[in-house]
Homo-oligomer: A and B are copies of this chain.
Amino acid sequence: MAQLQSTILIFASIFVISSSNFIQPPHPFDPLTETELKLIRNVINKTYPVGPKHKFTFQYVGLNEPDKSLVLLWHSSPHHNVKPPPRQAFIIAREKGRTREIVVDFSSRSIVSDKIHLGNGNPMLTNDEQEAATALVRRFKPFRESIKKRGLKLSEVVVTSSTMGWFGETKTDRLIKTIPFYLNGSVNPYLRPIEGMTIIVSLEKKKVTEFKDRFMAPLPKANGTEYRISKLKPPFGPVLRNAVVLQPHGPGFKIDGHIVRWANWEFHMSFDVRAGLIISLASIFDMDMKKYRQVLYKGHLSEMFVPYMDPSADWYFITYLNCGEFGCGQSAVSLEPYTDCPAGAVFMDGIFAGQNGTPTKISNVMCIFEKFAGDIMWRHTEAEVPGLEITEVRPDVSLVVRMVTTVGNYDYIIDYEFKPCGSIKMEVGLTGVLEVKPVEYVHTSEIKEEDIHGTIVADNTVGVNHDHFVTFRLDLDIDGTDNSFVRNELVTKRSPKSVNTPRKSYWTTKRKTARTEAEARVRLGLRAEELVVVNPNQRTRHGNDVGYRLFPGPASGPLLTQDDYPQIRGAFTNYNVWITPYNKSEVWTSGLYADRSQGDDTLAVWSQRNREIENKDIVMWYTVGFHHVPCQEDFPTMPTLSSGFELRPANFFEQNPVLKTKPFKLTTTPKCTPKTDS
């Protein structure tokens, strides 16, 4: 528990509150309900008065991860007739300038743990405090004068909050930098930055603590930044034809609370203000064994590291840790039916605690839909059997669970795709609006500097080079809790003389089970190897280790120097794949406290302990990386760019698990004229 090492236990006395009719949600992983969030506020209010007059704010409220063994005991019991694990909430709060970690127990309605965090880093920023900070700036006289000096109208100025990062400072107060943008005819503020000012606000002191107007930069035009269809002018196009997906027998999935059942899959989905969408207890039904078998105990976003590549004063600090600083759940958006998720999608809301502890809802924050992409699950045409022409084809269907988190300018589409063959695909789509820098020129021929740190994407506008590193935490439990990580290297061999054929070489597999964390750090692309998480305690009837294989996507690693501050904080990107032993406190790869963190509580530091990981409960960390050199097509909104990875059963099943799937039996196209608006 690295992030708690420097904290001290203040008190843990129990405040018992008189019992009422509070009913625990049906599943231990269900997200905190509105009722529970209210209860948390009430419980805490007894000790720390909450409200506008008091210096107590809720920075993070989430489910306190229940003990894994108790969850599994409950989960595996027939009809869940075993007592579920105690239900508790984990709260990070600011109280009189201190950061507190509070655990509230629901059955006793009491605080069961309360600690002060004394280490580095600050908690997640709340929406409320960011709004308050930017409002402060708008009222700040020197800022108003700077706006006036530029000939701009304050009413058209939008102030947004950016984090400070950490650049070697010893004191890391809860400060943010704010960045002004200009509307005035545009609703796409991120494309009209007002550069040249340094504006630092103390979230604690609630005032502007530093203001510098360093220079005046050109302001990119409003013209060309519009993207609302209602405001764009013809010609429109390209013209796409509508489609309706009809399911004559209804959708293939069933939702029971937060449990989703579809085809051979069953999993739980939840929402957390920091991670956003969480998938847990994903298991797949094995027709041979006539039972569900575990695959993924828990999977979710752990962090998104987004460093920009301009070292100048207006840009150097833009090295976001989106989930840890802004909350990938807090920044998640309501999904629009038919466009964000196709017809037939089912939506779920997300509820989280606002800064004052009251429940806030994002409606339709997650969706579930069946994907009929026209793919082929498996097929074979056999022409060698005399008198028979065999063609057997199974069309594929998959189930997608989606969220979109919009952290300022960028919209991140996060998809978990489940396939009947046992595969789970994690996909990250990048869209939204670029972060741009004003320049005086409109054409490359005018460039005077050696480096403009990006691409001219519009008049007076440079789309600045940057990276996106999206790290998933995947607590895999392949057919049970204790697993090993196998690196199956493909090694070239010279043919032995004994085979007596003219063939000179071949490759074979050199299997190596990673014993410790160091042996499981992987930079993709360096060597040919299969990466497999196996259960060394389970074998197929042919003696193969039961496993799931990682199919990586295209590899991208970090390019910042190792001594650079953002890379010290983002050191969890130094490898594409890491394995750690399960540790309840190692959830956030950038550290529990990511804002202004100093890199002492990252996955890279935990991994240095080089713990044993063989035949243990292990966690896989995978980073999807993008190096983004912007291009004009990314302006004024960016066509989605996707990348991801896949986990596929490898000797998990005794044979093709979809061999006996019946193909769709569509024989006639429905005869009807659907009513649409267009």
Contact = CB atoms under 8 A, between A and B. Distances in A.
A660 B227 CA distance: 8
A667 B676 contact: yes
Interface in A501-538: 501-509, 524-526, 528, 530
A240 B661 contact: yes
Contacts of A455: 544, 651
A451 to B, nearest CB: 5
15 contacts: A167-B503, A238-B657, A242-B665, A242-B666, A311-B496, A339-B379, A374-B400, A375-B640, A377-B639, A379-B404, A379-B413, A507-B627, A524-B525, A638-B656, A671-B674
A668 interface: yes
Closest A-B pairs by Cβ, 6 of them: A670-B674, A525-B525, A672-B672, A444-B543, A241-B252, A167-B502
A260 interface: no
A228 B390 contact: yes
From DSSP, what is the main secondary structure of chain A's interface residues?
Answer: loop
B243 A310 contact: no
Contact of A503 (B311, B431, B650, B672): B311
Contacts of A249: 241-242, 678
Contacts of A422: 633, 639
B248 A674 contact: yes
Interface stretch (A107-115, A205-213, A547-555, A616-624): A547-555
A70 to B, nearest CB: 30
A532 to B, nearest CB: 9
Given A241-B249, A663-B229, A379 B340 contact: yes
A659 interface: yes
A394 interface: yes
A636 B379 CA distance: 11
Contact of A638 (B252, B378, B444, B651): B378
Given A374-B342, A379-B431, A385-B158, A246 B243 contact: yes
Interface stretch (A40-48, A95-103, A183-191, A346-354): A183-191
Contact of A639 (B393, B408, B421, B459): B421
A383 interface: yes
Interface stretch (A5-13, A81-89, A562-570, A605-613): A562-570
B287 A237 contact: yes
Contact of A661 (B183, B237, B313): B237
B666 A650 contact: no
A442 interface: yes
A491 to B, nearest CB: 8
Given A339-B663, A504-B561, A311 B495 contact: yes
